[in-house]
Structure 1
Amino acid sequence: MSEDNKDKEQPQSQQPEGEIKEAGDKEAAAPEQAVDPEREAKLKAAAEARAARAAAKAAAESGEAAGTGEAKSAADPEKEAKLKAAAEARAARAAAKAAAEETPEEPKAPSPNQPRLDRAAALVRSELGETSVADAYINELNGDVPTLVIEPKQIRAAAELFKQHESLRCNYLRNVSGVDYETYMEVVYHLISLDTKEDYVLKVKADRETPSVDSVTPVWATANWNEREIYDLLGIDFPGHPDLRRIMMPDDWVGHPLRKDYEPLDPEV
Structure 2
Amino acid sequence: MEALIARLRERFPTAIQEVITFRGETTVVVPREALVEVCTYLRDEEGFNVLADLCAVDYLPRTPRFAVNYHLLSLDHRRRLRVKVFVEEEDPVVPTVTGVWPGANWHEREAFDLMRIRFEGHPDPRRILLPAEWEGHPLRKELPVVVEEIAYSFNKARIYAEKPFARE
The residue number in structure 1 matching 2:37 is: 157
Alignment of 1:153-232 (within 5 A): 153-165=33-45, 168-182=46-60, 183=62, 184-232=65-113
Q: Which residue is 2:116 aligned to?
A: 235
Given that 1:121 and 1:133 are in contact with CA atoms closer than 8 Å, whether structure 2 keeps it comes out as no
| Structure 2 residue identity aligned to 1:202 | V
The CA distance in 1 between the partners of 2:93 and 2:124, in whole Å, is 15
Question: Gapped runs of 5+ residues in structure 2?
Answer: 146-163
Of 128, 140, 146, the match for 2:26: 146
1:230-261 superposed Cα distances (whole Å, 9 cap, x missing partner): 00000001002111110011111111111111
Structure-1-length-normalised TM-score: 0.51
Cα distance in 2 between the residues matched to 1:254 and 1:174: 29
- What is the distance in 2 between the residues matched to 1:218 and 1:262? 33
> Which amino acid is 2:4 matched to?
A
**SS at 2:142's partner residue?**
coil
Equivalent position amino acid for 1:199 in 2 = R
Indicate yes or no: 2:125 matched with 1:244. yes
Tell me how large the CA RMSD over aligned residues is. 1.7
Q: Which of 8, 13, 17 is the equivalent residue of 1:134?
A: 17
Given that 1:138 and 1:145 are in contact with CA atoms closer than 8 Å, whether structure 2 keeps it comes out as: yes
Q: How does 1:43-58 map to 2 (within 5 A)?
A: none
SS in 2 for 1:125: helix
**How many aligned positions are there?**
143
Question: Partners in 2 of 1:188 and 1:219 — Cα distance?
Answer: 15
Residue 238 of structure 1 aligns to a residue whose secondary structure is strand
The CA deviation at 1:263 is 5.4
Unaligned runs of 5+ in 1: 1-115
For CA contacts below 8 A with separation 6 or more, give which structure has more relative contact order.
2
CA distance in 2, matches of 1:178, 1:197: 25
TM-score after normalising by structure 2: 0.80
Contact kept, 8 Å, 1:131 with 1:151, in 2: the verdict is no
Matches of 2:96 and 2:22, distance apart in 1: 24
Distance in structure 1 (CA, Å) of the matches to 2:91 and 2:138 = 16
Whether the 8 Å CA contact 1:185–1:206 is kept in 2: the answer is yes
1:92-125 CA-to-partner distances (Å, cap 9, x unmatched) read: xxxxxxxxxxxxxxxxxxxxxxxx1x32232223
SS at structure 2 position matched to 1:131: coil
